[in-house]
Amino acid sequence: MSTSAESSPAKPLAFVPETRFGVWFLATEVWRVHVLGVALDSLQALAPDLPTGGTILDIGTGLGHSLGALAARFQPERIHALDPDPAFPAKAGASLTTCPVPVTVHRTHAEAMDLPDASVDLVFCHQSLHHIVGQERALAEMFRVLKPGGHLLLAESTRRYIHSWIIRLFFRHPMHVQRTAPQYLDMLRAAGFEVRPDRVHTPYLWWSRWDLGALEWFGMKVPTEREETLLNTVVRKP
């Protein structure tokens, strides 16, 4: 069961809609298992002591595949699902209906949330920050709505991946705001988050490489010196 809450930012915010291919890909098993599922496993491994219960905010809910996974893994009392796509509630309808915990729908931008200060225990931002033009403003909002001691679980594709030919061909992003993994970590620190080195993971997954892992399949070694394609981190609001 879900409820809806909408806000109208005073200043129009940019929204870059996904391509048809992108919308299709988000509904595939590859996305659910090898992207979303693997990211959640990585984030929980980084911080196995994350508390359960409370309130979760899901940034960029999309089709809603994250909702059931978050409910199963963290047993929250409520989930806030946020996405600026005007068609978001309809696209995520099945996931909203089947989620075992109450979900409040927020059809708005991460840069201008309609949530009170210090009102959520955990923010999940999976493959969403690189879609946002005002990234600093969005992180400031995430910091604002988190309770002291709350955590942000961030899984993000970096500039290296977003600027690759395969992503440019099939997907759509604001290219001028893409960042490297160290730049994203610096931005998190500037927003006030506590960043611990032992809670940072930069996997080099097959789907994040320009060749989709083909060279490794043919026996070539994975480069040890590289610009990272992915960043997973769990950071805390002091």
pTM of the model: 0.89
Query: Domain range holding 200?
Result: 2-6+13-236
CB 204 within 8 A of CB 226: yes
| Strand ranges across the sheet with 230-236 | 2-5, 103-106, 78-82, 55-59, 120-126, 146-157, 230-236, 200-201
Structurally, how many domains does the chain consist of? 1
Instruction: Walk along the chain (238 residues) and give the pLDDT tens digit of each residue.
Output: 566 554 434 345 666 777 788 788 888 888 899 899 999 999 999 999 999 999 999 999 999 999 999 999 999 999 999 999 888 899 999 999 999 999 999 999 999 999 999 999 999 999 999 989 999 999 999 999 999 999 999 999 999 888 887 778 777 888 888 999 999 999 999 999 999 999 999 998 766 666 655 556 666 677 677 788 899 999 999 9
Contacts of residues 220-229 at CB distance under 8 Å and 24 or more positions apart, as own/partner, are 227/158, 227/159, 227/160, 227/180, 228/158, 228/160, 228/180, 228/181, 228/202, 228/204, 229/157, 229/158, 229/160, 229/161, 229/204, 229/205
What are phi and psi for residue 122, nearest 5 degrees? -150, 135
Cα separation of 196 and 57, whole Å? 22
Tokens of 232: 């997973």
CATH number at residue 90: 3.40.50.150
